[in-house]
Protein backbone atom coordinates (compact mmCIF):
# COMPACT_ATOMS: atom_id res chain seq x y z
CA UNK A 1 0.00 0.00 0.00
CA UNK A 2 1.28 3.44 -0.85
CA UNK A 3 0.95 6.40 1.45
CA UNK A 4 -0.95 8.21 -1.32
CA UNK A 5 -3.87 5.82 -0.84
CA UNK A 6 -3.88 5.89 2.95
CA UNK A 7 -5.49 9.20 3.76
CA UNK A 8 -7.08 11.11 6.62
CA UNK A 9 -8.59 14.47 7.49
CA UNK A 10 -6.87 14.25 10.89
CA UNK A 11 -4.26 17.04 10.77
CA UNK A 12 -0.55 16.61 11.46
CA UNK A 13 -0.21 12.87 10.90
CA UNK A 14 1.81 10.87 8.40
CA UNK A 15 0.01 7.72 7.31
CA UNK A 16 2.24 5.01 5.91
CA UNK A 17 2.75 1.74 7.77
CA UNK A 18 -0.77 0.80 8.80
CA UNK A 19 -1.51 -1.56 11.66
CA UNK A 20 -4.52 -2.35 13.82
CA UNK A 21 -4.46 -0.02 16.82
CA UNK A 22 -6.55 -0.97 19.85
CA UNK A 23 -7.03 2.65 20.99
CA UNK A 24 -8.45 3.85 17.67
CA UNK A 25 -12.15 3.17 16.99
CA UNK A 26 -11.51 2.61 13.26
CA UNK A 27 -8.92 -0.08 12.65
CA UNK A 28 -6.93 -1.22 9.64
CA UNK A 29 -6.31 -4.95 10.02
CA UNK A 30 -3.65 -6.82 8.04
CA UNK A 31 -4.14 -10.59 8.38
CA UNK A 32 -0.95 -12.58 7.96
CA UNK A 33 -0.63 -14.71 4.85
CA UNK A 34 1.19 -18.05 4.96
CA UNK A 35 2.57 -18.93 1.53
CA UNK A 36 4.31 -21.80 -0.23
CA UNK A 37 4.68 -23.11 -3.76
CA UNK A 38 0.94 -23.72 -4.01
CA UNK A 39 -0.10 -20.19 -3.08
CA UNK A 40 -1.09 -18.84 0.33
CA UNK A 41 -3.53 -19.28 3.22
CA UNK A 42 -4.89 -16.56 5.49
CA UNK A 43 -7.28 -16.40 8.42
CA UNK A 44 -9.57 -13.47 7.62
CA UNK A 45 -11.47 -13.57 10.89
CA UNK A 46 -10.80 -15.15 14.27
CA UNK A 47 -12.90 -14.11 17.26
CA UNK A 48 -10.05 -14.28 19.78
CA UNK A 49 -7.49 -12.55 17.58
CA UNK A 50 -9.88 -9.73 16.77
CA UNK A 51 -10.88 -9.35 20.42
CA UNK A 52 -7.21 -8.77 21.24
CA UNK A 53 -7.31 -5.88 18.74
CA UNK A 54 -10.32 -4.37 20.48
CA UNK A 55 -12.92 -5.80 18.07
CA UNK A 56 -15.26 -7.86 20.22
CA UNK A 57 -18.63 -7.39 18.49
CA UNK A 58 -20.61 -10.39 17.29
CA UNK A 59 -21.10 -10.45 13.52
CA UNK A 60 -24.49 -11.75 12.34
CA UNK A 61 -24.66 -10.93 8.61
CA UNK A 62 -22.22 -11.15 5.69
CA UNK A 63 -22.71 -9.04 2.54
CA UNK A 64 -21.10 -9.31 -0.90
CA UNK A 65 -21.23 -6.66 -3.63
CA UNK A 66 -20.00 -6.49 -7.23
CA UNK A 67 -19.36 -3.08 -8.82
CA UNK A 68 -18.86 -3.29 -12.59
CA UNK A 69 -17.58 0.12 -13.70
CA UNK A 70 -14.40 1.60 -12.29
CA UNK A 71 -15.01 4.59 -10.01
CA UNK A 72 -18.32 3.28 -8.73
CA UNK A 73 -18.97 4.96 -5.38
CA UNK A 74 -21.18 3.53 -2.65
CA UNK A 75 -21.85 5.70 0.39
CA UNK A 76 -21.78 7.34 2.75
CA UNK A 77 -23.99 4.91 4.69
CA UNK A 78 -24.89 4.03 8.26
CA UNK A 79 -27.62 2.22 10.15
CA UNK A 80 -29.10 4.11 13.11
CA UNK A 81 -29.60 2.81 16.66
CA UNK A 82 -31.02 0.57 17.93
CA UNK A 83 -30.07 -1.31 14.73
CA UNK A 84 -26.62 0.24 14.33
CA UNK A 85 -23.90 -1.87 12.71
CA UNK A 86 -20.20 -2.45 13.18
CA UNK A 87 -18.66 -3.45 9.84
CA UNK A 88 -15.55 -5.36 8.82
CA UNK A 89 -14.82 -4.66 5.15
CA UNK A 90 -12.47 -6.34 2.68
CA UNK A 91 -12.02 -6.37 -1.08
CA UNK A 92 -11.73 -9.82 -2.62
CA UNK A 93 -11.39 -8.74 -6.26
CA UNK A 94 -9.84 -5.53 -7.57
CA UNK A 95 -9.07 -2.42 -5.50
CA UNK A 96 -11.18 0.07 -3.56
CA UNK A 97 -10.61 3.18 -1.46
CA UNK A 98 -12.58 2.62 1.75
CA UNK A 99 -13.63 5.47 4.05
CA UNK A 100 -15.02 5.94 7.58
CA UNK A 101 -16.46 9.29 8.75
CA UNK A 102 -16.95 10.16 12.43
CA UNK A 103 -20.62 11.11 12.98
CA UNK A 104 -20.78 10.75 16.78
CA UNK A 105 -22.34 13.85 18.32
CA UNK A 106 -19.96 15.61 20.69
CA UNK A 107 -16.89 13.92 19.25
CA UNK A 108 -13.82 16.19 18.94
CA UNK A 109 -13.25 14.55 15.55
CA UNK A 110 -16.86 14.90 14.35
CA UNK A 111 -16.99 15.07 10.56
CA UNK A 112 -13.38 13.89 10.18
CA UNK A 113 -12.56 10.86 8.09
CA UNK A 114 -9.92 8.21 7.47
CA UNK A 115 -9.49 6.01 4.42
CA UNK A 116 -7.32 3.23 3.05
CA UNK A 117 -6.90 1.17 -0.08
CA UNK A 118 -8.22 -2.37 0.28
CA UNK A 119 -7.46 -4.87 -2.44
CA UNK A 120 -7.43 -8.55 -3.24
CA UNK A 121 -3.65 -8.24 -3.43
CA UNK A 122 -2.98 -6.63 -0.05
CA UNK A 123 -5.71 -8.49 1.89
CA UNK A 124 -6.23 -5.54 4.26
CA UNK A 125 -9.52 -5.08 6.10
CA UNK A 126 -11.12 -1.97 7.60
CA UNK A 127 -13.15 -2.20 10.81
CA UNK A 128 -15.77 0.55 10.97
CA UNK A 129 -17.59 0.75 14.31
CA UNK A 130 -21.01 2.06 15.23
CA UNK A 131 -21.00 5.85 15.01
CA UNK A 132 -19.19 6.10 11.68
CA UNK A 133 -20.57 6.51 8.17
CA UNK A 134 -19.00 4.20 5.58
CA UNK A 135 -18.34 4.44 1.88
CA UNK A 136 -15.97 3.28 -0.83
CA UNK A 137 -15.03 3.98 -4.42
CA UNK A 138 -13.75 1.29 -6.77
CA UNK A 139 -10.40 1.92 -8.43
CA UNK A 140 -10.75 -0.58 -11.28
CA UNK A 141 -13.56 -2.49 -13.02
CA UNK A 142 -15.38 -5.49 -11.56
CA UNK A 143 -14.53 -5.05 -7.89
CA UNK A 144 -16.02 -7.42 -5.34
CA UNK A 145 -16.36 -6.38 -1.71
CA UNK A 146 -17.47 -8.45 1.26
CA UNK A 147 -18.24 -7.19 4.72
CA UNK A 148 -19.41 -8.55 8.02
CA UNK A 149 -22.09 -6.70 10.03
CA UNK A 150 -22.99 -6.82 13.72
CA UNK A 151 -26.73 -6.46 12.99
CA UNK A 152 -28.97 -7.47 10.13
CA UNK A 153 -30.22 -4.98 7.56
CA UNK A 154 -33.06 -2.78 8.83
CA UNK A 155 -34.54 -0.54 6.10
CA UNK A 156 -36.25 1.74 8.62
CA UNK A 157 -32.87 2.48 10.25
CA UNK A 158 -31.03 3.10 6.98
CA UNK A 159 -29.29 6.49 6.73
CA UNK A 160 -26.60 8.32 4.84
CA UNK A 161 -24.67 11.48 4.05
CA UNK A 162 -23.58 13.04 0.78
CA UNK A 163 -20.40 11.54 -0.67
CA UNK A 164 -19.16 15.00 -1.74
CA UNK A 165 -20.22 17.02 1.31
CA UNK A 166 -17.75 19.95 1.50
CA UNK A 167 -17.86 19.90 5.31
CA UNK A 168 -16.55 16.32 5.28
CA UNK A 169 -14.36 16.77 2.19
CA UNK A 170 -13.33 13.18 1.59
CA UNK A 171 -10.33 13.13 -0.75
CA UNK A 172 -11.72 10.50 -3.10
CA UNK A 173 -9.03 9.28 -5.56
CA UNK A 174 -11.01 10.15 -8.69
CA UNK A 175 -9.47 11.25 -12.00
CA UNK A 176 -9.70 15.03 -12.58
CA UNK A 177 -13.21 15.99 -13.65
CA UNK A 178 -14.54 12.46 -13.16
CA UNK A 179 -17.95 12.03 -11.53
CA UNK A 180 -18.32 8.64 -9.87
CA UNK A 181 -20.96 6.09 -10.77
CA UNK A 182 -23.70 6.53 -8.15
CA UNK A 183 -27.07 5.05 -7.31
CA UNK A 184 -30.01 7.46 -7.41
CA UNK A 185 -30.22 7.16 -3.63
CA UNK A 186 -26.56 8.02 -3.05
CA UNK A 187 -26.84 10.95 -5.44
CA UNK A 188 -29.34 12.66 -3.14
CA UNK A 189 -28.06 11.89 0.37
CA UNK A 190 -28.27 14.85 2.82
CA UNK A 191 -25.39 17.02 3.99
CA UNK A 192 -23.73 17.12 7.39
CA UNK A 193 -25.16 20.60 8.03
CA UNK A 194 -28.35 20.13 10.01
CA UNK A 195 -27.71 16.41 10.53
CA UNK A 196 -29.10 15.30 13.90
CA UNK A 197 -26.76 12.45 14.74
CA UNK A 198 -28.31 9.51 16.61
CA UNK A 199 -24.85 8.32 17.69
CA UNK A 200 -23.36 9.30 21.08
CA UNK A 201 -19.65 9.89 21.56
CA UNK A 202 -17.96 7.02 23.44
CA UNK A 203 -14.84 8.91 24.56
CA UNK A 204 -12.50 7.64 21.85
CA UNK A 205 -11.55 10.28 19.25
CA UNK A 206 -10.79 9.18 15.73
CA UNK A 207 -7.07 8.76 15.15
CA UNK A 208 -4.88 7.91 12.17
CA UNK A 209 -4.66 4.39 10.80
CA UNK A 210 -0.91 4.21 11.43
Model confidence pLDDT, tens digit, residues 46-86? 999 999 999 999 999 999 999 999 999 999 999 999 999 99
Residue 114's domain is classified under what CATH number? 2.60.120.10
> Of 7, 77, 110, 134, which residue is the catalytic one?
77
Kindly state the DSSP code that residue 174 receives in the 8-state scheme.
P
For residue 44, being part of any structural domain is answered with no
Range of the domain at 104: 3-10+18-35+58-188
For residue 120, being part of any structural domain is answered with yes
64 labelled catalytic:
no
For residue 174, being part of any structural domain is answered with yes
* CA 206 vs CA 22, 102, 156: distances in Å: 12, 7, 27
Confidence tier at 7 by pLDDT (50, 70, 90): low
What are the tens digits of pLDDT across the range 162-182?
Answer: 999 999 999 999 999 999 999
For residue 88, being part of any structural domain is answered with yes
> Of 110, 134, 147, 153, which residue is the catalytic one?
147
Angle at 90 between CA 131 and CA 68, to 5 degrees: 105
Query: What mean pLDDT value characterizes the chain?
Result: 91
The residues facing 160 across adjacent strands are: 77
Note the pTM of the prediction, 2 decimals.
0.90
For residue 45, being part of any structural domain is answered with no
For residue 71, being part of any structural domain is answered with yes
147 labelled catalytic:
yes
What are the tens digits of pLDDT across the range 85-135?
Answer: 999 999 999 999 999 999 999 999 999 999 999 999 999 999 999 999 999
For residue 196, being part of any structural domain is answered with no
Burial state string for 74-105 with b = 16 or more CB within 10 A and e = fewer than 16? bbbbbbbeeebbbbbbbbebbbbbbbbbbbbe
Based on the structure, what is the number of domains in the chain? Answer: 1
Is 210 within 8 Å of 15 (Cβ atoms)? yes
Amino acid sequence: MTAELLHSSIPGVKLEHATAMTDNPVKLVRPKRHGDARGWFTETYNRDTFAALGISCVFVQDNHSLSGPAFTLRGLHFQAPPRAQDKLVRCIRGRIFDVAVDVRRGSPTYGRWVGAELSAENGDQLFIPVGFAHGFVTLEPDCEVTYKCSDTYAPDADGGLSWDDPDIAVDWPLPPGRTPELSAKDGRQPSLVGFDSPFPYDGRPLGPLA
